[in-house]
Structure 1
Amino acid sequence: MDIRQLIDTTRMTAYQWFIIGLACFLNALDGYDLVAMAFTSSSVSEEFGLSGAQLGWLLSSALIGIGIGSLFLAPLADRYGRRTLILAALAIDLVGLSMSALSDTYGELLLWRVVTGIGVGGILACVTVVVSEFSNLRFRGLTISIYSAGYGLGASLCGVLAAQLIPTHGWRSIFFIGAALTGFALVITFFALPESVDHLRNRGQEDKVRAIAARIGKTDEFTVTPAAVEKHSAGLRELFRGPFLATTIKLWIAFSLITAGFNFANQWTPKLLTEYGLSAQQGIIGGIMLSFGGTIGSLIYGALTTRIDARRLLVIFSLLSAVVLVGFISAANWPGLMFALGVGVGMLLNACVTGMYTVTPQAYPSALRTSGVGSAIGISRVGAVMAPIAVGYLLDAGWSPTALYVTAGALVAVTAIAMIGVREHTTPVAATTPAENADADRASVRS
């Protein structure tokens, strides 16, 4: 039995679950970092005198950074290791948050939010792969969901702290707290997170693979497949060869649409609710409800993946998200109902994001996994970035919050069509020559 088969088919050990918990914490920090601008938007707009378009760019600045980090940092993880890149990305995130809190102008804040996003992008791509690689097949969907649930927890924490601290300590306090939490995460990750066994196996480092296997409690006998058996060039061009081409394009489209809808709802909801006529406090509560619902959605999605195909669930949840987005803004005149639907919006949209993080790593072989996930996250930032910016311009042009939510719902619904034909990649178990194995890898993907 190979080490990959051993992890895939044996029970999860306590240390494996610890790794999942650490990944959840890292994703909670990402959730905190990304919505910090949304919850501080009213205070920042007032201090710097921002228009809707300027606020849109500010809300999208971290998303631009995520695109850069996902496209250019993530492929380096396939060369230097997942753990190494996670540590580097956390350091970048720490600098971005600290300097955001110290910014004195709109331009400075915009710049440092981009830097923060670069760090978050590197973390997202690498940690997603780590979770997938340290999970067995039975619980892989659940572990991805637990990891994804961290986003909602972090975002909810940011909202609660914003409601409590901004009136007395100002908006900068939110970024200082984020920097402190990131520094703590950097230390914990350095000492507790092992390198990916898949990465070490593909580099032929058998001794390190066996050391990490012992560390995570895998004491059964196993072999370590030579790197040549699964040799692929860890570059973006490999994602466009053979049957990977159709899979990559479909995943890019689906990821872009989902992240566009998700970031629209999470970044603009507090501000749009005030535009609708609600108070600033009600706007923050609405944002918190979305974040809280996101945590529930991730866990529900993960539980269902133990019984239902992850791709089918993603299609169902994307269609439901479109319906509830429209219902949420339609109920703005009834705050109680609106807040309840806000939980539903967050639950369904976050479940869709969880679905993309579950389906995407499974669509590629291990040597291309970080590049595949990183490129999908990076390209998806086009939709994610454009959504908040477009909303700012459309709001200045007179679009109503209702029209904006209906449009977002329609885009999310198209995800169901984009996911048609995406399948899980399977690697042949029998030993083959490098050339034969490469051919078999390509043939195993069905578009």
Structure 2
Amino acid sequence: MSVRQWIVVVLMILLNALDGFDVLSSAFAAPGISAEWGIPRSALGIVLSAELVGMGFGSVILGGVADRIGRKDTMLICLVVMAIGMYLAHAATGVTLLTVWRFVTGLGIGGMLAATNAVTAESTSKSSRSLAMALYVIGYPIGGVVGGFAAQSWLLVEYDWRAVFMFGAVVTAIMIPLVFFLVPETPAFYAARRPANVIEKVNRSLRALRKRTIEALPPLRTEGPQPKVTDILSKPGLRKVTWLLAFGYMFHTLTFYYILKFAVQIVADSGFSQADAASTLTWANIGGAIGGGLFGFLLKKWDIKGPTIAMMIAGVVAVAWFGMGHGELGEWRVAAFLSMFFLNAAIVGFYAAFARGFPAYARATGTGFVLGVGRAGAAGSPIVAGLLFDMLGKGELLTVSLIMSLGSVCAIFMLLLLPMRDGDAIAQAEAKA
């Protein structure tokens, strides 16, 4: 790994951290939005889910663009979309406009996640790829931590909720020239697309990454199975794995995003200032980063299924304790920390299950399909929680929390039914049959 390769990895971590902050910025701003416009929690839930819905569309629309025009150009397009969306969100004059601009921001985030993931994998050596991908994944909650400290100690103290979106717009705009000048298009993209003068373009990328150039590319292989959604949905063994992982992940994100999206509003409604309430989400993200990182390291020695189920059980207990309400800010922070520690550890377990459950030729397709289904749970979580609060009342925090924790309970049953065989073994067995 050259220094230039690590520079690219660091920039991808920063972009993922930026995505993490942009997604959570509406949660940091939620108490101020509610106070200024006096909207019910059901309407607030729609605002909080807007960028998650946009992420679903963005991952499909702009994620596909990354395979056609290139990873670098796609990242630049997404950064522009995100910067515009964040800036116009800060200037919104009503709930409808704010929802629209949060959706637009989500479009950019969805495409960015697909592109940065590919760049991280394709710009690193085989021996360093696992480490680089682990650092990249942890960048997401770190963005929430850094943004949370900025929100609670500066933005929400000196200004108001609009400053959170303005801060995100400025930082996003700063990343545009950094990506333009420091991130080359990946050699793997050119090797796969085979454009005119492909050798020259591949070597230009290799020189930028301080790697040896090549004289020729191997011929493209067209034989054998190709990654298609129909493969993972048509073969019985793979179909079972696909749907169990998809619905398991979807149900778990229903619980996961309940804490991420509503913690700040819940704590603010219990009598704390916007800045103090925002600190709860900061500690939730610290818990998520530590829990995910530690669990990912320990999975090298453990199997996937049992430990992931154990993390979800612990997460359900932590969410229930969060829902019991607390009189001290420190108790709210600990409850949020523990909730995200266990819930994000389970997310890491799901990602490990994706890698094992799908055969190599359809791994990216299967993972993309599962994540797409999972975003339905992510987008629906704040909407469902908002409706429950409106129906039952703000005083029924424990009841709402227990209902929202049922998502992880359902995910536990999905994993219990999941056959933890290697995806390649499943594919080979079905091919012989």
Structure 2 length normalisation: TM-score? 0.85
| Whole-angstrom CA distance in 2 between matches of 1:276 and 1:166 | 18
Q: Describe the shift of the 1:98–1:322 C-alpha distance in structure 2 as closer, same or farther (beyond 3 A).
A: same
In structure 1, stretches of 5+ residues that fail to align are 1-11, 427-439
1:152 to 121, 124, 141: 141
CA contact (8 A) 2:359 2:427 kept: no
Deviation digits for residues 113-163 of structure 1 (CA, Å, limit 9, x no counterpart) = 000011111112232233344455665554333212222222122222222
Deviation digits for residues 171-225 of structure 1 (CA, Å, limit 9, x no counterpart) = 2111111111111222222222333444433334662445544544554989855
SS at match of 2:326: coil
Query: How far does residue 406 in structure 1 lie from its aligned partner after superposition?
Result: 2.2
- More deviation, 337-346/120-129: 337-346
| Whole-angstrom CA distance in 2 between matches of 1:96 and 1:220 | 40
Query: How far does residue 389 in structure 1 lie from its aligned partner after superposition?
Result: 0.5
In structure 2, stretches of 5+ residues that fail to align are none
Superposed, which structure 2 residues align to 1:391-402 within 5 Å? 391-398=385-392, 400-402=396-398
Superposed, which structure 2 residues align to 1:219-234 within 5 Å? 219=212, 224-229=217-222
- More deviation, 403-412/326-335: 326-335
CA contact (8 A) 2:53 2:375 kept: yes
Superposed, which structure 2 residues align to 1:149-298 within 5 Å? 149-163=138-152, 164-204=154-194, 207=199, 208-213=201-206, 215-219=208-212, 224-229=217-222, 236-237=229-230, 239-242=232-235, 244-298=238-292
| Whole-angstrom CA distance in 2 between matches of 1:179 and 1:443 | 49
The one-letter code of the counterpart of 2:263 is: T
Q: Describe the shift of the 1:417–1:274 C-alpha distance in structure 2 as closer, same or farther (beyond 3 A).
A: same
Deviation digits for residues 291-318 of structure 1 (CA, Å, limit 9, x no counterpart) = 2222222322333244445566544433
The one-letter code of the counterpart of 2:49 is: S
1:20 to 9, 15, 20: 9
**1:418 corresponding residue in structure 2:** 414
Q: Describe the shift of the 1:201–1:417 C-alpha distance in structure 2 as closer, same or farther (beyond 3 A).
A: farther
Query: How far does residue 364 in structure 1 lie from its aligned partner after superposition?
Result: 5.2
Query: How far does residue 366 in structure 1 lie from its aligned partner after superposition?
Result: 7.2
The one-letter code of the counterpart of 1:203 is: R
**1:6 corresponding residue in structure 2:** none
**2:113 corresponding residue in structure 1:** 124
The one-letter code of the counterpart of 1:188 is: L
Query: How far does residue 69 in structure 1 lie from its aligned partner after superposition?
Result: 0.9
**1:389 corresponding residue in structure 2:** 383
CA contact (8 A) 2:23 2:51 kept: yes
Superposed, which structure 2 residues align to 1:89-100 within 5 Å? 89-100=78-89
Superposed, which structure 2 residues align to 1:296-311 within 5 Å? 296-309=290-303
| Whole-angstrom CA distance in 2 between matches of 1:367 and 1:86 | 25
| Whole-angstrom CA distance in 2 between matches of 1:109 and 1:87 | 23
| Whole-angstrom CA distance in 2 between matches of 1:175 and 1:442 | 47
Q: Describe the shift of the 1:72–1:418 C-alpha distance in structure 2 as closer, same or farther (beyond 3 A).
A: farther
| Whole-angstrom CA distance in 1 between matches of 2:387 and 2:122 | 42
The one-letter code of the counterpart of 1:443 is: Q
**2:76 corresponding residue in structure 1:** 87
The number of residues matched between the two structures is 422
The one-letter code of the counterpart of 1:287 is: L
**1:63 corresponding residue in structure 2:** 52
SS at match of 1:79: coil
CA contact (8 A) 1:297 1:348 kept: yes
**1:408 corresponding residue in structure 2:** 404
The one-letter code of the counterpart of 1:55 is: L
- More deviation, 250-259/273-282: 273-282
2:27 to 9, 17, 38: 38
| Whole-angstrom CA distance in 1 between matches of 2:156 and 2:116 | 31
The one-letter code of the counterpart of 2:347 is: V
Structure 1 length normalisation: TM-score? 0.82
2:324 to 323, 330, 344: 330
CA contact (8 A) 1:362 1:424 kept: yes
CA contact (8 A) 2:157 2:275 kept: no
Deviation digits for residues 226-253 of structure 1 (CA, Å, limit 9, x no counterpart) = 3325777676445434354334323322
The one-letter code of the counterpart of 2:382 is: P
Query: How far does residue 22 in structure 1 lie from its aligned partner after superposition?
Result: 1.6
Q: Describe the shift of the 1:311–1:198 C-alpha distance in structure 2 as closer, same or farther (beyond 3 A).
A: farther
Query: How far does residue 371 in structure 1 lie from its aligned partner after superposition?
Result: 4.5
| Whole-angstrom CA distance in 2 between matches of 1:133 and 1:156 | 27
CA contact (8 A) 1:24 1:150 kept: yes
**1:108 corresponding residue in structure 2:** 97
CA contact (8 A) 1:146 1:302 kept: no
The one-letter code of the counterpart of 2:294 is: I
CA contact (8 A) 2:290 2:341 kept: yes
The one-letter code of the counterpart of 1:37 is: S
Q: Describe the shift of the 1:81–1:307 C-alpha distance in structure 2 as closer, same or farther (beyond 3 A).
A: farther
**1:9 corresponding residue in structure 2:** none
- More deviation, 217-226/163-172: 217-226
Q: Describe the shift of the 1:322–1:445 C-alpha distance in structure 2 as closer, same or farther (beyond 3 A).
A: farther
| Identity rate, percent | 26
Superposed, which structure 2 residues align to 1:330-349 within 5 Å? 330=324, 332-349=326-343
Q: Describe the shift of the 1:311–1:330 C-alpha distance in structure 2 as closer, same or farther (beyond 3 A).
A: same
Q: Describe the shift of the 1:415–1:367 C-alpha distance in structure 2 as closer, same or farther (beyond 3 A).
A: same
